[in-house]
Structure formats: C-alpha cells, structure tokens
Structure 1
C-alpha cells in the first residue's frame, strides 16, 4: 500500500510543479495529499485497533518473576 502512496505523492508533486503560480502549486499539492492522508489513516485503523488490544492484554497480565532466577534479597 505504501508504494501506491509514494507514487501518488510523486504525481501530486509533478502536478504542483506544473501549476502556473506558487500558490496554485501549493493548493494543488495539498488537494492531492489530504485525500491520500485520509485514505492511509482509514486503512490503518484496523492495525491501530489490534495494537491497542494487544497492549491492553499485556497490561492485564500479572507480572511474575521467572522461576529459575535466584530470590531477591
């Protein structure tokens, strides 16, 4: 998915370079990049949800010392 994002950024950059003015180039670039950012954010929501669940599962587990370690003094 990242190769598509990189290609889209390249296309946005080339469209911005071809604009007639600097302001037009900035507006063109941001017009291409904001939808890309939204799509990447929505596409990563499942991974973020899974990471949060794994983190919460690790926090719920009690911490016990390994049985092979010597007792602490």
Structure 2
C-alpha cells in the first residue's frame, strides 16, 4: 500500500507543479493528496488502533495495585 501512496503523491505533485499559481498548486496538493491519503491511512489503521487499545486495557487490568 505504501508504494501506491507514494505513486499518488508523485502524480499529484506533478499536477500541482503544472498549476498557474503557487496558491493553486498548494491547494491542489492539499485537496488531492494530503486530505485523501490521511483519510485512507486513518481508515486502514483503525484495526491496529483498536488492538493497541485492547492490549492497553488488558495490561492495566493485569498489573497489581
């Protein structure tokens, strides 16, 4: 999945470079690259977050007071 994300950053980076102004390029990069990838990584990492939370809860129950 990392290779797909890296390729997407490359493609969107090239798209941003062809924009007519710097502000348009930055907005293109933010709107088409950072926002979608952050949502994607948040969704795909939800199982790992839940597992870490479950392990932390179990560890806190097992420690003696």
Shift of residue 62, structure 1, vs aligned partner: 3.0
Are 1:38 and 2:39 matched, yes or no? yes
The aligned counterpart of 2:22 is: 22
Q: Can you give the 5+ residue segments of structure 1 that lack an aligned partner in the other structure?
A: 64-73
SS in 2 for 1:20: coil
After superposition, the CA RMSD in angstroms is 1.2
Unpaired segments ≥5 residues, structure 2? none
Per-residue deviation, residues 7-47 of structure 1 (Å, max 9, x unmatched): 11111111111111101101110111211111111111111
Q: Could you tell me how far apart the structure 1 residues matched to 2:58 and 2:31 are? A: 40
Q: Please state whether the residue corresponding to 1:37 is helix, strand or coil.
A: helix
Q: Tell me, in whole angstroms, the C-alpha distance in 2 between the residues paired with 1:4 and 1:48.
A: 22
When the two structures are aligned, how many residues end up with a matched partner? Answer: 63
> Going by fraction, where is helix more abundant, 1 or 2?
2
Give TM-score scaled by structure 2 length. Answer: 0.85
